[in-house]
Amino acid sequence: MADVARLAGVSHQTVSRVLNGHPNVRAETQARVQAAIEELGYRRNSSARALVTRRTGVIGVVAFDTTHYGPAQTLAGIEHAARADGYFLSVVTLQTVTPAAVREAMDYLAQQSVEGYVVIAPKRAVVEGLADQPAGRPVVAVEGGEAPDVPMVCVDQVGGGYLATRHLLDLGHRTVHHIGGPRDWLEAEGRIEGWRRALEEAGAEIPEPHFGDWRPRSGYDIGVRLAADPAITAVFVANDQMALGTLRALAEAGVRVPEDVSVVGFDDIPESAFFTPPLTTVAQDFTEVGRRGIGLLIDLLEESGDGAAAPPARRVVPARLVTRTSTAPARA
Amino acid sequence: MADVARLAGVSHQTVSRVLNGHPNVRAETQARVQAAIEELGYRRNSSARALVTRRTGVIGVVAFDTTHYGPAQTLAGIEHAARADGYFLSVVTLQTVTPAAVREAMDYLAQQSVEGYVVIAPKRAVVEGLADQPAGRPVVAVEGGEAPDVPMVCVDQVGGGYLATRHLLDLGHRTVHHIGGPRDWLEAEGRIEGWRRALEEAGAEIPEPHFGDWRPRSGYDIGVRLAADPAITAVFVANDQMALGTLRALAEAGVRVPEDVSVVGFDDIPESAFFTPPLTTVAQDFTEVGRRGIGLLIDLLEESGDGAAAPPARRVVPARLVTRTSTAPARA
DNA sequence: CTGAAAGCGCTTACAG
DNA sequence: CTGAAAGCGCTTACAG
């Protein structure tokens, strides 16, 4: 900066003013400074700046092992939104998901003086890790169902589960079986609640749900058992990967989809349109979740007016049913 | 730090020594300082530290839209490796993949004073963007095939393509058809080269390859055409998602896999074991790629001895064939 | 509209 | 083994 000032024949002070777009600089001076900056390829030292402004412009993100489609997409959404607003993203990916690991990750990020956190928190353990954070930096959770204290943005899982189940009931199925995700996932919980609500509302029998681990294998194993019960005509599976396994188990057992059994998934991963048969499923707008999560955090950071920030309504992103050919009317 | 020094009854200088693990501190003094740090919940200001040490400990990562399995996994691998070595990761995800976008992303990261870059560069355009970087910070590319100047770590794509094709030839197929990825992807190029090499080596006819866009739909569209040709008995598809589409097209056309046609994919995504039928494919160790990429960059940053850093051999991670039931011996 | 001064919170030689 | 001094490169009041 000293070099730039010298070349432009001004004080380093004025260079700073130009850099920060302060109004009180003569146009001609500004041009000269700009030229000097270009010529020298000068780049402001971010550490020095952060030291004095007490702002690093860095948002810490605690992400998940990204083999899961949802968390991976959410991370991308968060990144785009943050960059659009001029923030940097420092990411830690959780390997083991325990409250301690979450705290450790946040602690690690704190070393880098992040201004706030976005935590992808679809599991209960993550939300618990959030609970007893040393106050100070704002935290926004994303994909986390109902969290007591932490501001949260998520897709309407209950609504999505309801949508899927309602779709099957509307096709004339007497009831709908469910293959849920792991019970410590808040998303799994939301989806099962939506399923139950739709059944209750329709006065349908509520069969005992089964629980998988999100992976195709578990959907397959449960599917093998479901295939053995000829009374079953409709299954709502809590994610597309498990639904894939279920489809495979049904096919192997000679159960036709959708003629004998209708199947609905959840997530709308890129592959699901090409399953055998193409899967009816529930799509989530992860990009929007990321955008709102970052928006909420930035509101908190910049305390735009009232402390209430975004109204709760803006924090729930609706789910959307995508109808393909794995579902059909129940046989009479 | 001043507060800590006061509480411990030493100079802030000594506090710094304790923080940095300098040897020349009396054990008793150190304990007192530690206690003071704990009591005050003191945390060193990273900006001040970076300002004087000229090291931010931040590695910039230019990643890809993470809907692709490979890049997503690689990112996770990079993150784990970086954290294990005490580095922070600042990530930019590319939306449009052009040389200009790559430069822009690196420029953005430069604002944050990253010490070096790991760039996920499976497309030619990314490698081009890397070419004319203003020197200064070291760059390591990952997943990028052959790059002229930039140090590179990648899975042996040629070897993988060879493995897949060889497997089919070994099963007695006279030749192997190929559905390649987009031609501007270096990985697609490597796989096709391995395919061609295996065919040449076996003296087999080399059919005209087809090219998809990695997505299931394109594998489907090409599969529809392949299904119409009864002479075809073996297909090597450049990724699992397209292979999924191909399987679907074959099934719809009444072509049985593997009885009529054998299919091999590439990537070993979590779903592929549950395709119809379970897919024989080529697995890549992305974690290892991430680890070596970070290792290489850190070598560069810390200039451990000679400038040669890791020997080229260490930079190529072997691919591995995973045999499932989508492949079978050719009919006599 | 522009400059001289002070200070952000650290680390790095330099003394002792 | 420990402290007093200088300085990293910025921004923020304060003058003028």
Write out the DSSP string of B30-50.
HHHHHHHHHHHT----HHHHH
CA–CA min distance B19, chain A (Å): 13
CB contact under 8 A, B47 and A216: no
| Domain extent listing, chain B | 2-44, 56-155+286-317, 157-284
pLDDT at A232: 97
Q: Specify the pLDDT at position B119.
A: 93
Return the structure tokens found at A136.
């100070």
Output the pLDDT for position A308.
53
Longest dimension (CA), chain A: 88
Provide the pLDDT for residue A309.
52
Q: What pLDDT was estimated at residue A71?
A: 82
Q: Which residue has the higher pLDDT, B7 or B322?
A: B322
Check residue B147 and give its pLDDT.
64
d(CA A13, CA A33): 11
Instruction: Give the residue whose CA sits closest to D11 at C1'.
Output: A52
| Arithmetic mean of pLDDT over chain B | 90
Q: Which 3 state secondary structure label does DSSP give B92?
A: strand
Among the partner-chain residues B44, B91, B244, the one whose CB lies closest to the CB of A271 is B244
Other Cβ atoms less than 10 A from the Cβ of A9: the count is 11
The pLDDT assigned to A313 comes to 54
Q: How far is CA B116 from CA A92, A194, A242, B87, B113, in A?
A: 18, 47, 40, 11, 9
pLDDT digits (tens, 9 = 90+) for B165-207: 999 999 999 999 999 999 999 999 999 999 999 999 999 999 9
Chain B residues with CB-CB distance to A50 below 8 A: 47
| C-alpha of A31 from chain center | 44
Quickly state the pLDDT bin for B289 (edges 50, 70, 90).
very high
| Lowest-pLDDT choice from A229-243, B12-26, B46-60, B173-187 | B12-26
Phi-psi sector, B215: left (phi>0), alpha (psi -120 to 50), beta? beta
Strand C footprint nucleotides (protein C-beta < 7 Å): 1-5, 7-13
What pLDDT was estimated at residue B62? 94
Nucleotide nearest to B43 (CA to C1'): C9
Residue B20 Cβ < 7 Å to strand D: no
CA distance B242 to B185: 15
Distance CA A181, CA A175 (A): 19
For residue B260, the SS3 value is coil
If phi over 0 gives left and psi between -120 and 50 gives alpha, with beta otherwise, what is residue A300?
alpha
- Model pLDDT, residue A192: 97
Rounded average pLDDT over B14-41: 85
CATH of A56-155+286-315, one of 3.30.70.120, 3.40.50.2300, 3.40.640.10, 3.65.10.10: 3.40.50.2300
Whether the CB of A12 is less than 7 Å away from nucleic strand D comes out as yes
Dmax over CA atoms of chain B, in Å, equals: 88
- Domain range A157-284, CATH architecture: 3-Layer(aba) Sandwich (3.40)
Give the mean pLDDT of B266-285: 94
What backbone torsions phi and psi does residue B52 show, to the nearest 5 degrees? -90, -35
Shortest CB distance from B51 goes to which of A51, A274, A275? A51
A residues 50-109 closer than 8 Å to B (CB): 50-51, 56-58, 65-67, 72-73, 75-76, 79-80, 83, 88-93, 95, 108-109
Residue of chain A with shortest Cα separation from B89? A90
Query: Does nucleic acid strand C have an atom less than 7 angstroms from the CB of B29?
Result: no
Q: pLDDT tens digit string along B98-152?
A: 999 999 999 999 988 999 999 998 888 888 888 777 667 899 999 876 666 788 8
pLDDT, position B134? 66
CATH no. for B56-155+286-317: 3.40.50.2300
Distance CA B194, CA B157 (A): 7
pLDDT at residue B310, rounded to an integer:
54
User: How do beta strands A320-322 and B281-283 pair?
Assistant: unpaired
Distance (Å) from the C-alpha of residue B263 to the closest C-alpha of chain A?
Answer: 16
- The angle at the Cα of A255, spanning A254 to A258, to the nearest 5 degrees, equals 140
Residue B135 confidence (pLDDT): 65
Q: Measured between beta carbons, which residues in chain A are less than 8 angstroms from residue B72?
A: 66-67, 72
Taking C1' of D3 and every protein CA, the nearest residue is B11
What is the homologous superfamily of the domain A2-44 according to CATH? Answer: lambda repressor-like DNA-binding domains (1.10.260.40)
Asked if domains A2-44 and A157-284 share a fold, the reply is no
> What pLDDT sits at residue B304?
53
Residue segments in chain A with a per-residue pLDDT below the cut of 70: 134-135, 145-148, 304-314, 332
Return the exposure string of A310-325: e unless at least 16 CB atoms fall within 10 Å of the residue's CB, then b. Answer: beeeebbbebbbbebe
Among B residues 152-211, those touching chain A with beta carbons less than 8 Å apart: none
* Assigned token pair, B214: 């990695």
Q: How far is the CA of A5 from the C1' of D7 (A)?
A: 19
Looking at the predicted structure, is the pLDDT value of residue B226 above 70? yes
